[in-house]
Amino acid sequence: MALLPWLLLALGAAAPFYLSGYNLSLLGRFMAFGILAMGIVLIWGHGGILSLGQGVFFGIGAYAMAMHMKLAAAGDGQLPDFMMWSGREALPWWWEPFASPVFAILAVFLLPALLAALFSWLVFYRRVSGVYFALITQALALAFATLLISRQDVTGGFNGLTNFPSLFGLSLADQTVRDGLYWTTLALAALGYAGLRWLLATRFGNLLRAARDAENRIRFLGYNPVPFKVVAFAIAGMLAGVGGALFTMHAGNISPALVGVVPSIEMVIWAAVGGRYSLAGALVAAVALNILRDSVSSAFPELWLYLIGLVFILTVTLLPNGVAGLARRVSRR
């Protein structure tokens, strides 16, 4: 089992040599989802924090990168096409900093993390947890998607932001650029996996799990669990934002349909199927389930939600620790 992550990394690194350009782009998108899924393992599996709103932080990172790419496509002093169609005459002030690639990259990492930290601190400080926290995050996802749809003139509305011909001055039509983008995605996924493995092995990880299992006892021993939960939630938000930005670069679009309630629930299912305690399991499950989704949806578009629901029910009832838990049991035998 210890060799599995290295084997997957080797197979992933060689993917540009045996996959077509289209399939490589799909793999890059799904690996971006895997980065988000590892964040869910951190907060849900090890922190006991079930969030049904990770699509919000995914969307923040995605829209931050999409705004930069849209401004770059429009050119200096020009409005993005959808703003002109909506009748706007000036660029909103909060769009202007995203013309800088440095600001956009920093926003992808920092903006989701800061908003996740602020939101979680306000909630955890009031000692809201369990199903109540899950419902609040679900409502947050619904509100965020509704806001994006309602502000057609500044967010692109239901269609979102599309048509990005270049990335940091490099043409996305060039396969060499797309190969480089894929390897960047793979490197960030590997870095996220290694970083989370290290974090969970430290005293922080031990206290986070202790707060998950016995929060009142942790308080009795003199520890305040709120900062540990806030930091974990902020890291998960940052990973979701990075995944969203990478997805946008691979897919060439982002829309409210990818950040609402249903996508946020699917994100939790990826972690559950892979194993909510396993970083590698969640990463692999996110890739595998989205490959399955692409295949099923192409042939039977209306069947996917029923299928993913069935997979989740079977996982919860038969494999509570996911596929990774089953693999561990088999390897021990």
Quick count: other Cβ atoms within 10 Å of Cβ 256?
Answer: 23
Q: What is the pLDDT of residues 180-234, one digit of tens each?
A: 999 999 999 999 999 999 999 999 999 999 999 988 899 988 899 999 999 999 9
Range with the lowest mean pLDDT among 26-35, 79-88, 255-264? Answer: 79-88
Q: What is the pLDDT of residue 3?
A: 67
pLDDT confidence of 300, banded at 50, 70, 90?
confident
Per-residue confidence (pLDDT) for residue 74, from 0 to 100: 87
**pLDDT surpassing 90 at residue 279:** yes
Which of 199, 206, 284 is CA-nearest to residue 234?
199
Q: What pLDDT, on a 0 to 100 scale, did the predictor assign at position 189?
A: 96
Which pLDDT score, from 0 to 100, does residue 2 have? 58
**Which whole number is the average pLDDT over 300-319?**
86
Helices (H), the chain: 4-13, 15-18, 21-40, 54-74, 81-85, 101-125, 130-150, 152-155, 175-200, 203-213, 215-220, 225-251, 261-274, 279-299, 304-318, 322-332
At 75, is the pLDDT very low, low, confident or very high (cuts 50, 70, 90)?
A: confident
- Reported as a pLDDT band with limits 50, 70 and 90, residue 302 is confident
pLDDT at 91 over 70: yes
Query: What pTM, to 2 d.p., does this model score?
Result: 0.95
Per-residue pLDDT of 1-49, as tens digits, reads 556 677 878 888 889 998 898 899 999 999 999 999 999 999 999 999 9
Residue indicated by tokens 């077509």: 20
Query: Three-class SS of residue 267?
Result: helix
> Is the separation of the CB atoms in 177 and 170 below 8 Å?
yes
